[in-house]
């Protein structure tokens, strides 16, 4: 109750209420997230079940166009799946991979950044050089190699099952240095503050100081970059899928849907690629807008009166 009151009177809520862009973005994002979580309940068709769709319905245009059918609001794809349902499932997969990859990045990055910044010395030099190396390898190359090796080792059939965790790890691995650097910079700022010295004078061990005193004070910038990182991870996943390295078409993400439809764009079936593309753009846009707003509010240097 107390923390709710604190929130009610906070600058965060005040500036949110005064920013129509933030409100709109937040609403759109919430709706998208809720829809994708509830996908199995609210979609008209279960697109993961091949029994529910018919190849005869393939390439049906959206309902309002000539030749459209009332049962497929946004038309169907080349396999005859309802596009709307497929997109919602696709969004769900994209979101899962995006959030998963960011959690993975954050976990690795925060740990590395905290150790590196607080302990310093040779460990710091070593970890930061590893981060530099990691950063200099394009994630596409990593993805191509990993998925090739994986397909060889486990077969294409198993790949479809394990694609989600695999993509989470591939995308997560490529971006953790961003977290590591952000956290390290903020740890360097915090670790010489007097409250840390006070904890040392009490005799508290450095592991405990790192975890209990330094870590909570470095999380604000982590929160800010996390929003942007989710958007970036979703985009990376879409790019990988578009190149055929991501989610298989039987369990599509927004990226693989765009790819699948792309081949038919000139044969007139533009909707197969257009709607997933538009959804991806809206999804990423609202996350970035919300991230921008959050950064402005949490960064006192940009404080606006």
Partner 1 sequence: MRHLLEVKDLEVKFALWFGELTAIDGISFTLDRGERLGIVGESGAGKSVTGFAIINLISKPGYISAGQILFEGQELNRLPEDEMRSIRGNRISMIFQDPMMTLNPVLTIGTQMIETVLAHENVSKSEAVDIALDKLKKVHIPSPEKRIHQYPHECSGGMRQRIVVAIALLTNPALIIADEPTTALDVTIQAEIMDLLLELCESEKMGLILITHDLGVVSQITEKVIVMYAGKIVESGATQSVVQDPKHPYTRGLLKAIPGIIPPGSRLYQIPGMMPNLTEIPQGCSFHPRCTISESICSTEVPALISKDQHHRMVACHMVK
Partner 2 sequence: MEQNNSLLTVKDLVKHFDISGGLLDQLALESGRIVRKKTTVKAVNDVSFTIMPQETLGVVGESGCGKSTLARAVLGLYPPNSGEIHYQDQRIDNLNPKQMLPFRKKMQMIFQDPYASLNPRMTVKKILEEPVYFHNKAINAQAAEDKVAEVMRQVGVDPAWSGRYPHEFSGGQRQRISIARALMVDPEFIVADEPVSALDVSIQAQILNLLMEAREKRGLTYMFITHDLSVVKHISTRVAVMYLGTICELAPTQTLYAQPGHPYTRALLSAIPELGVQKPKHLKLKGEVPTPINLPSGCVFHGRCIYANDRCTQEIPRLMRLESGAYVACHGVEEKRI
In 137-213, alpha helices (H): 139-191, 194-202, 206-209
For residue 7, state whether it binds partner 1 (rule: CB under 8 A): no
Measured distance CA(299)–CA(107) in Å, rounded: 23
Closer to partner 2 by CB, 138 or 189: give it. 189
For residue 262, state whether it binds partner 1 (rule: CB under 8 A): no
CA angle 238, 283, 52 (to 5 degrees): 70
Measured distance CA(203)–CA(183) in Å, rounded: 25
Measured distance CA(117)–CA(91) in Å, rounded: 37
Closer to partner 2 by CB, 37 or 125: give it. 125
Identified binder of partner 1 from the candidate list 6, 7, 14, 54, rule CB under 8 A:
14
The CB-of-71 to partner 1 minimum distance in angstroms stands at 51
With contacts defined by CB under 8 A, name the span among 8-16, 48-56, 159-167, 211-219 that binds partner 2: 211-219
Identified binder of partner 2 from the candidate list 10, 30, 71, 205, rule CB under 8 A:
205
Measured distance CA(176)–CA(211) in Å, rounded: 19
| Residue 79 binds which entry of partner 2, partner 1, none, CB below 5-8 Å type-dependent | none
The CB-of-18 to partner 1 minimum distance in angstroms stands at 8
The CB-of-268 to partner 2 minimum distance in angstroms stands at 59
Buried b (16+ CB within 10 A) or exposed e, 37-55: eebeeebebbbeeeeebee
Q: Is residue 124 within 8 Å of residue 188, measured between CB atoms? A: no
The CB-of-63 to partner 2 minimum distance in angstroms stands at 53
Is residue 34 left, alpha or beta, with left meaning phi > 0 and alpha meaning psi from -120 to 50? alpha
| Residue 198 binds which entry of partner 2, partner 1, none, CB below 5-8 Å type-dependent | partner 2
The CB-of-125 to partner 2 minimum distance in angstroms stands at 7
For residue 11, state whether it binds partner 1 (rule: CB under 8 A): yes
Closer to partner 2 by CB, 158 or 200: give it. 200
How far the first Cα of the chain sits from its last, in Å, is: 29
Q: Collapsing DSSP states into helix, strand and coil, what is residue 64?
A: coil
CA distances from 274 to 74, 140, 166, 260 (A): 10, 24, 27, 11
Q: Is residue 114 within 8 Å of residue 215, measured between CB atoms? A: yes
For residue 15, state whether it binds partner 1 (rule: CB under 8 A): yes
| Residue 195 binds which entry of partner 2, partner 1, none, CB below 5-8 Å type-dependent | partner 2
For residue 125, state whether it binds partner 2 (rule: CB under 8 A): yes
Q: Which of 100, 97, 135 is nearest to 234 (CA)?
A: 97
The CB-of-228 to partner 2 minimum distance in angstroms stands at 24
| Residue 52 binds which entry of partner 1, partner 2, none, CB below 5-8 Å type-dependent | none
| Residue 11 binds which entry of partner 2, partner 1, none, CB below 5-8 Å type-dependent | partner 1
For residue 197, state whether it binds partner 2 (rule: CB under 8 A): yes
With contacts defined by CB under 8 A, name the span among 84-92, 189-197, 233-241, 270-278 that binds partner 2: 189-197
Q: Which residues bind partner 1 (CB under 8 A)?
A: 11, 14-15, 305
């Amino acid at each position: 109750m107390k923390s709710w009151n604190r929130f009610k009177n906070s600058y965060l809520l005040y500036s949110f209420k005064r920013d129509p862009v933030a409100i709109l973005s937040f609403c759109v994002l919430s709706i998208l997230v809720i829809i994708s979580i509830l996908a199995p309940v609210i979609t008209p068709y279960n697109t993961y079940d091949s029994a529910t769709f018919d190849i005869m319905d393939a390439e049906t245009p959206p309902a309002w166009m000539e030749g459209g059918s009332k049962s497929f609001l946004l038309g169907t794809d080349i396999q005859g799946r309802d596009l709307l349902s497929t997109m919602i499932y696709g969004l769900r997969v994209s979101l899962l991979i995006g959030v998963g990859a960011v959690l993975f990045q954050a976990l690795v990055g925060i740990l590395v950044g905290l150790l590196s910044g607080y302990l310093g010395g040779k460990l710091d030099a070593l970890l930061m050089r590893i981060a530099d190396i990691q950063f200099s390898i394009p994630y596409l190359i990593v993805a191509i190699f990993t998925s090739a090796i994986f397909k060889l080792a486990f077969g294409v059939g198993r790949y479809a099952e394990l694609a989600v965790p695999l993509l989470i790890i591939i995308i997560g691995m490529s971006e953790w240095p961003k977290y590591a650097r952000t956290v390290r910079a903020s740890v360097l700022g915090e670790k010489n503050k007097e409250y840390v010295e006070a904890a040392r004078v009490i005799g508290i061990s450095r592991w405990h100081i790192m975890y209990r005193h330094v870590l909570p004070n470095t999380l604000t910038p982590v929160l800010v970059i996390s929003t942007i990182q989710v958007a970036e991870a979703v985009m990376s996943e879409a790019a990988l899928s578009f190149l055929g390295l991501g989610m298989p078409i039987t369990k599509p993400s927004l990226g693989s849907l765009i790819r699948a439809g792309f081949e038919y764009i000139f044969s007139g079936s533009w909707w197969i690629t257009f709607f997933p593309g538009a959804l991806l753009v809206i999804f990423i846009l609202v996350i970035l807008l919300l991230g921008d707003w959050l950064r402005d509010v949490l960064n006192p240097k940009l404080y606006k009166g």
